[in-house]
Amino acid sequence: MIINFETLRYFEFTPVLFLFCLLGLLMGSFLNVVIFRLPEMIVIDWRQQAREFLDLEIQKEKSISLCMPRSHCQKCLKTIRFWENIPVLSWLLLKGKCSHCKVAISIRYPLVEIMTAGFSVLIGGFYGLTVEGVLILIITYYLIVIALIDFDHQIIPDCLVLPLLWMILIAASVGYLNTPSGAILGAVAGYLSLWAIYWAYKVCRNQEGLGHGDFKLMAVFGALLGAPVLVSMIALSASLGLLLALPMLLKKADFQQAIPFGPAIIISGWVHLLVSEPFKL
């Protein structure tokens, strides 16, 4: 990869980049909530649907949403005060521990906030306050959530990936991110590429090797980047997937254990986005 140093001029400190950084920190804090709560909300909904389908008595589940209840310690249940919820800074001031029960707070929370801020600044530096910049920013936030939920739970929720796909297709239809034909053909090719691999593996091994969410996620990148990049994207995704599986192989764990492929697809897609316009890396 050859870096075009001409692009570094975009990263002079400006109020706009400061706003992108601040937005990234705040969004990173919110994404942490989504990553933690959305899977639980989905499970509750699945249970209710299963009871309805089986004609069982509907049981009252605890009420949970992305907004309620307020953020609290998972051990002592103490409500987190606003000054304890400042991105990165609060974690540092509290020394990574709950102010009440002193249980450790995962370092992943500030890392997600820092990562989100970093991506926001990167996108802001190259795109600025443009429609494309806003769209890429939204797509990136979605992808961070999808990657970490898949890593934690081995699921790619339709409520995340399908709106993302539709957003890209609609944006392409009005002249942003891709051409309409390129986005549609890319989405179809992306979905069918992993769909074909899934069925080939299932016929040969009589077991599933990929989740259906992976098909939809590849369709997202096909719509965003176009069909021609899919071959190299799949190759890089497969290599990254093997790296994710390597710790399990070294520990001689159960080889039938599900390994999340979504993070590998997302990292591969972002690498391909970085070598495309307007990043010019």
DSSP for 202-233, written as a single string = HHHHSS--S-HHHHHHHHHHHHHH-GGGHHHH
Averaged pLDDT, 201-223 = 89
Q: Which two tokens stand for residue 105?
A: 């707070």
Q: Which two tokens stand for residue 181?
A: 């034909």
- Side-chain half-sphere exposure of 44, counting CA atoms within 13 A: 12
Return the C-alpha torsion angle 223, 229, 233, 234, nearest 10: 90
Question: How many angstroms from the chain centroid is the CA of residue 134?
Answer: 16
Q: Which two tokens stand for residue 44?
A: 């509750």
> What does the pLDDT read at residue 201?
82
> What does the pLDDT read at residue 281?
44
Q: Please count the residues of the chain.
A: 281
Helix ranges (H only) for the chain are 15-53, 89-93, 108-127, 131-153, 158-173, 180-205, 212-225, 230-250, 262-274
Nearest to 178 by CA among 122, 128, 219, 118: 219
| Burial status of residue 49 (CB atoms within 10 A of its CB: 0-12, 13-18, 19 or more) | exposed
Q: What is the pLDDT of residues 214-255, one digit of tens each?
A: 999 999 999 999 999 999 999 999 999 888 777 766 665 555
Inter-CA distances, 51 with 40, 48, 61, 124, 158, Å: 17, 5, 12, 47, 21
**Region of poorest pLDDT, from 7-21, 48-62, 189-203:** 7-21
The Cα 167–Cα 143 span in angstroms is: 13
Nearest to 240 by CA among 213, 270, 275, 209: 270
CA angle, 174 as apex, 170 and 178 as ends, to 5°?
75
For residues 224 and 269, the answer to whether their CB atoms sit within 8 Å is yes
Nearest to 138 by CA among 121, 122, 120, 155: 120
How much of the chain exceeds pLDDT 70, in percent? 90
72 φ, ψ to 5°?
Answer: -150, 160
Q: Where are the domains of the chain?
A: 13-129, 153-281
The Cα 31–Cα 124 span in angstroms is: 19
Q: What is the pLDDT of residues 68-125, one digit of tens each?
A: 888 888 888 788 888 888 899 999 988 888 888 888 989 999 999 999 999 999 998 8
Residue 3's pLDDT band, with cuts at 50, 70 and 90, is: very low
